[in-house]
Chain A
Amino acid sequence: MKEADKDEKLKRSNMTLALLLGVIAIAGTLIPYFYLSGAIAAGG
């Protein structure tokens, strides 16, 4: 593989992993709301 192709592949891989971790973090902000709905379902 050419050096430029290798770099491009690495950049894409970095971006993909970073986006995946970002999605996990954003999903984490929803945990309090799930927790709340669980608490409400359990009768407050």
Chain B
Amino acid sequence: MSSAVTANGHDEAHHHGPPKGIGRWLFSTNHKDIGTMYLFFSLIMLLLGGAMAMLIRAELFMPGLQLLEPDLYNNLVTNHALIMVFGAVMPAGVGLANWMIPMMIGAPDMALPRLNNLSFWLLPMAAIMLVSSMIVPFFPFGGGAVNTGWTLYPPLSVQAGMGMDLVIFTVHILGISSILGSINIITTIVNMRAPDMTWFKLPIFVWAWLFTAFLLILILPVLAGGVTMLLFDRHFGTSFFDAAGGGDPVLFQHLFWFFGHPEVYVLLLPSIGVLGMIIPTFARKPLFGYKPLIFFMGFLAILGMVVWAHHQYTIGMSLNTTTYFMIGTILISIPVGLMLFNFMCTMWRGSMTFETPMLFAISIILMFSFAGVTGVMLAVVPADLQYHDTYFVVAHFHYALIPGSVLGLFAATFYWLPKWTGNMYDEKLGKIFFWWNVISFNITFFPQHFSGLAGMPRRIVDYSGQFVEFNVISSLGAFMFGVSHLLFAYIIIKTIRGGEKAPDKPWEGGQIGTPGLEWTVSSPPPFHTFETPPAVK
């Protein structure tokens, strides 16, 4: 590795700190700089996707058409989901991996630093294309809006205008970026560990990312293949998904969900890894059941890949097939439940304190469990036939994905911000953000369970007057929830600019709970860390 750095012409920077000017960021091969870029990109996308959600909730504040044309509304729903999944949550996870994995395993950098640069810089290009897909329908040549939702189901996606092509190419580019990032992460973990860093000494966050990276390599190519077939149906006269030409639109659903369901675990697992770092720190106890937790994550990743069709119970599969997918889906609650028990047992009789990362961690356990309960409800076929395509599903997956991944990313940010910046964040503001964020999240999404159970369909610009109360509450909560993220951005900027100096080991409990290599370097860490492999206890 060190010779690769020298051969890159980085010898000077190697000894004199980071290069100056924009070149530092454009041509960076440093895992910390690239991690920072991923995290900032993700924050920008979070605010953009959140602004779209605000527009959606403003439209749904009252029945009738208020602000948006139906096509634009549907386009916003599509882009909100794609931006949040591919632009905000996934890059944030990769950003954390970039920053922390080399420091946790005692490596000087990622295994393939130039590939790392490429993985990141593909993202802004893809984001520009994705946003363009929303703009082109406003031009005469643009055709109809991308009104399919993030699932991109044909035949609607075959009929959509030019924006759909941009979305397809965006998915290709984002897929390439994530696959390259995953290859880099796996190679780093397998090959770059410090000599005494054996597999079962790896921090749980590293294990979580190892499973996530394998999942990404296995599922993203299938989505890429599926959307390429969609592109061929749109422009080259094929009929893969066109029943009139002998194809089958349901085939696309299978391909999409073969990717789409494990994707949930791609979003979830890094946050599970984060909880495995934070909870022992603030409970001042080693993680309960380290090896079982690794097994549960692996079991979850494997099981998550073979239950995809529970998203499609209504398409008319055979009884045997449906039963298999139902049982498989319900089985998922076992490893997930056991993971949560691991975390609760870690807290049991611990000497707990409740700093902002720990508050987020506890709230995640509570709220994600709630998503687990509604998930089991949705897994049961006869019940799902009622809930399918209603706001109950919207409530379920927002409870799964916001606590299960977004809040985990917030927790990680507060936990590692002192290490990254060398400054402590403002704990009072952090706690205000926590309560504001979590309370408004629940005001937004809890009522949607009831509107869904009462029959309100999802992805619809207008609704019956009977649902108005739930929607008013949901929209008010959403505005509060959206604005809370500006406070998050403010806390980050404030911490970067200054504040109380963070010691190398900013969390007292870290020495008992998670005494990893990342705490042996200074806060902020030097530009190059572990140029000689560290000793591992």
* Interface residues of B, Cβ cutoff 8 Å to A: 1-4, 111-112, 115, 179, 182-184, 186-187, 190-192, 217-222, 224-226, 228-229, 240, 246, 248, 251, 254-255, 258
A8: chain B residues within 8 A (beta carbon) = 3
Asked if residues B112 and A14 are in contact (CB atoms below 8 Å), the reply is yes
A14: chain B residues within 8 A (beta carbon) = 111-112, 187, 191-192
Q: Report the minimal beta-carbon distance from B437 to chain A, rounded to whole angstroms.
A: 36
Alpha-carbon separation in the docked complex, A28 to B225 (Å):
8
A7: chain B residues within 8 A (beta carbon) = 1-4
Asked if residues B251 and A35 are in contact (CB atoms below 8 Å), the reply is yes
List A residues 3-38 near B (Cβ within 8 Å).
3-4, 7-8, 10-11, 13-14, 17-18, 21-22, 24-33, 35-36
Known: A31-B221, A32-B225, A32-B229. A25 touches B2 (CB 8 A): no
Q: Report the minimal beta-carbon distance from B231 to chain A, rounded to whole angstroms.
A: 12
Asked if residues B186 and A21 are in contact (CB atoms below 8 Å), the reply is yes
B179: chain A residues within 8 A (beta carbon) = 22, 25
Asked if residues A35 and B254 are in contact (CB atoms below 8 Å), the reply is yes
Q: Which 10 A-B pairs have the closest CB atoms?
A: A28-B221, A32-B225, A7-B3, A29-B221, A29-B225, A14-B111, A21-B183, A17-B187, A25-B179, A31-B222
Q: Can you offer 11 A-B residue contacts whose CB atoms are under 8 A?
A: A7-B2, A7-B4, A13-B191, A14-B112, A17-B191, A18-B111, A18-B115, A25-B179, A28-B221, A36-B251, A39-B251
B224: chain A residues within 8 A (beta carbon) = 29
A21: chain B residues within 8 A (beta carbon) = 182-183, 186-187, 217
* Interface residues of A, Cβ cutoff 8 Å to B: 3-4, 7-8, 10-11, 13-14, 17-18, 21-22, 24-33, 35-36, 39, 44
B218: chain A residues within 8 A (beta carbon) = 24, 28
Q: Report the minimal beta-carbon distance from A44 to chain B, rounded to whole angstroms.
A: 7
Asked if residues B222 and A25 are in contact (CB atoms below 8 Å), the reply is no
A27: chain B residues within 8 A (beta carbon) = 221
Asked if residues A24 and B111 are in contact (CB atoms below 8 Å), the reply is no
Asked if residues B191 and A10 are in contact (CB atoms below 8 Å), the reply is yes
By secondary structure, the B interface counts as helix
A22: chain B residues within 8 A (beta carbon) = 179, 183
A22 nearest CB neighbor, chain B only: B183
Q: Among A10, A29, A39, which residue has its beta carbon within 8 angstroms of that of B222?
A: A29
Q: Report the minimal beta-carbon distance from B102 to chain A, rounded to whole angstroms.
A: 13
B218 nearest CB neighbor, chain A only: A28
Q: Report the minimal beta-carbon distance from B433 to chain A, rounded to whole angstroms.
A: 38
Asked if residues A28 and B255 are in contact (CB atoms below 8 Å), the reply is no
A28 nearest CB neighbor, chain B only: B221
By secondary structure, the A interface counts as helix
Asked if residues B255 and A35 are in contact (CB atoms below 8 Å), the reply is yes
B115: chain A residues within 8 A (beta carbon) = 18
Q: Report the minimal beta-carbon distance from B190 to chain A, rounded to whole angstroms.
A: 6
A33 nearest CB neighbor, chain B only: B225
Asked if residues B4 and A11 are in contact (CB atoms below 8 Å), the reply is yes
A32: chain B residues within 8 A (beta carbon) = 222, 225-226, 229, 255
Known: A7-B3, A32-B255. A18 touches B183 (CB 8 A): yes
B1: chain A residues within 8 A (beta carbon) = 7, 10-11
Pick the most buried of B190, B220, B221, B246: most chain A CB atoms within 10 A of its CB. B221
Q: Report the minimal beta-carbon distance from B508 to chain A, rounded to whole angstroms.
A: 37
B192: chain A residues within 8 A (beta carbon) = 10, 14
Alpha-carbon separation in the docked complex, A4 to B7 (Å):
12
Q: Report the minimal beta-carbon distance from A11 to chain B, rounded to whole angstroms.
A: 6
Asked if residues B222 and A28 are in contact (CB atoms below 8 Å), the reply is yes
Asked if residues A25 and B183 are in contact (CB atoms below 8 Å), the reply is yes
Known: A26-B221, A28-B221, A35-B251. A17 touches B2 (CB 8 A): no
B240: chain A residues within 8 A (beta carbon) = 36
Alpha-carbon separation in the docked complex, A27 to B187 (Å):
19
Q: Among A17, A36, A39, which residue has its beta carbon within 8 angstroms of that of B186?
A: A17
Q: Report the minimal beta-carbon distance from B251 to chain A, rounded to whole angstroms.
A: 6
Q: Report the minimal beta-carbon distance from A15 to chain B, rounded to whole angstroms.
A: 8
A33: chain B residues within 8 A (beta carbon) = 225
Alpha-carbon separation in the docked complex, A26 to B3 (Å):
30
B3: chain A residues within 8 A (beta carbon) = 4, 7-8, 11
Alpha-carbon separation in the docked complex, A4 to B1 (Å):
10
A3: chain B residues within 8 A (beta carbon) = 2
Q: Report the minimal beta-carbon distance from B218 to chain A, rounded to whole angstroms.
A: 6
A13: chain B residues within 8 A (beta carbon) = 191
B188 nearest CB neighbor, chain A only: A14
Alpha-carbon separation in the docked complex, A18 to B186 (Å):
8
Alpha-carbon separation in the docked complex, A10 to B190 (Å):
11
B258: chain A residues within 8 A (beta carbon) = 31
B187: chain A residues within 8 A (beta carbon) = 14, 17-18, 21
Alpha-carbon separation in the docked complex, A25 to B222 (Å):
9
Alpha-carbon separation in the docked complex, A10 to B186 (Å):
14
Alpha-carbon separation in the docked complex, A44 to B111 (Å):
45
A24: chain B residues within 8 A (beta carbon) = 217-218
Known: A18-B184, A35-B254, A39-B251. A25 touches B217 (CB 8 A): yes
Alpha-carbon separation in the docked complex, A33 to B192 (Å):
36
Alpha-carbon separation in the docked complex, A28 to B176 (Å):
12
Q: Report the minimal beta-carbon distance from A1 to chain B, rounded to whole angstroms.
A: 13
